[in-house]
Amino acid sequence: MYKPTAVVTGGAGFLGSHLCDKLLAEGYKVIAVDNLITGNTNNIAHLIGNENFSFVKHDITNYIYLPGRIDFILHFASPASPIDYLKLPIQTLKVGSLGTHKVLGLAKEKKARVLIASTSEVYGDPVVHPQTEDYWGNVNPIGPRGVYDEAKRFAEAITMAYHRYHGLDTRIVRIFNTYGPRMRLDDGRALPAFVGQALRGEDITVFGDGSQTRSFCYVSDLVDGIFKLLMSNEVDPVNIGNPSEITIKQFAEEVIKLTGTKSKIVYQELPVDDPKVRQPNIEKAKRILGWEPKVGRSEGLKTTIDYFKKVITA
Ligand code: UDP
């Protein structure tokens, strides 16, 4: 029996590898594409040998030839943490622009449906709170975060252009902060930083006064929402995230409590253009996809802390 084939760019990354798992579980063949600059084959090691899975090491900013039928393409390749895209600014801009262009070209050639990973960063430091999909954002194009924010905004623009001009079957997900197993301990994000520091008994580094807010979504919820969006008919962007909002200081305190560490919070300088608030409005996802997150923060954090414990002691 024919199995539909899906390509996942960034397939060896945090979200990409979870998407590969989900698509395989739903009965798809999966081709993961990754250049491994921030991804890691450890994330897909459990899939090697699965006859429905293959891996291609390739930088998606360059032309790609893939033989055979392809039904779906999910573009998840990009450095995605502030530390990563500050270290890799040109690659970040290239994968969001040239990489998205290559992905759209491949989708057009294969007559495949394509889903582009955008992000809440398109809203920048938002003046509308919580963020709805019809908010156009408040982005500094020339600041250090601009390389990521503008790359994602360009990715959305070229995706809509391919949809309108070429009639390409497109989807755009706007992903809010997501966490779970397979995050890199050293990617500099709040969650791996805090958990790593807590488990090693080091000071917990809260940036600024910690009053900035974020809303953290557990990875299995995010992946379910993305799969539902892929299967839906919605072409305009859809927010997927968990609306449970918390200040970064409270978040650090939760990590301290759940790990039982003796670590203390220390305050460091707030990065440039760090958004003051972030919370998804997910009414559209609820209405159109019948989706909402199920995993609460304490449950998700416990699973993630257990994962990081294993990574640290391995
Ligand atoms: N943050 C922090 N300490 C850290 C790392 C991050 O206080 O060691 C803050 C960061 O400044 C931001 C929030 O935590 O306000 C979330 O940061 P993250 O890097 O996870 O992602 P962002 O939401 O900024 O893209």
* Dihedral in degrees, nearest 10, Cα atoms 41, 47, 53, 59: -10
Q: Please tell me what DSSP assigns to residue 45.
A: G
Q: Which two tokens stand for residue 296?
A: 């609460």
Among 84, 110, 92, residue whose Cα is nearest residue 6: 110
Atom of ligand 1 lying closest to residue 278 CA: 23
d(CA 146, CA 137): 12
Parts of the chain with a pLDDT under 50: none
Residue-level pLDDT at 54: 98
Burial label, 229 (beta-carbon count in 10 A; 0-12, 13-18, 19+): buried
Q: Which residue ranges have their beta carbon within 6 Å of ligand 1?
A: 81-82, 177, 189-190, 193, 205-207, 212, 214, 248, 271, 274
The strand pairing partners of 55, in sequence order, are: 32
Q: How many Cα atoms sit within 13 Å of 130 on the Cβ side?
A: 19
d(CA 164, CA 172): 14
- Written out in words, the top-level CATH class of the domain with range 5-180+218-242+280-294 is alpha beta
Q: DSSP 3-state assignment of 246?
A: strand
Residue-level pLDDT at 304: 98
Residue-level pLDDT at 227: 98
Among 262, 224, 244, residue whose Cα is nearest residue 301: 244
Residue 121 Cα, ligand 1 centroid: separation in angstroms? Answer: 13
Per the residue annotation, which of 123, 148, 162, 218 is the catalytic one?
Answer: 148
Average pLDDT, the chain: 97
Residue-level pLDDT at 314: 76
Residue-level pLDDT at 1: 84
pTM of the model: 0.97
Residue 162 Cα, ligand 1 centroid: separation in angstroms? Answer: 34
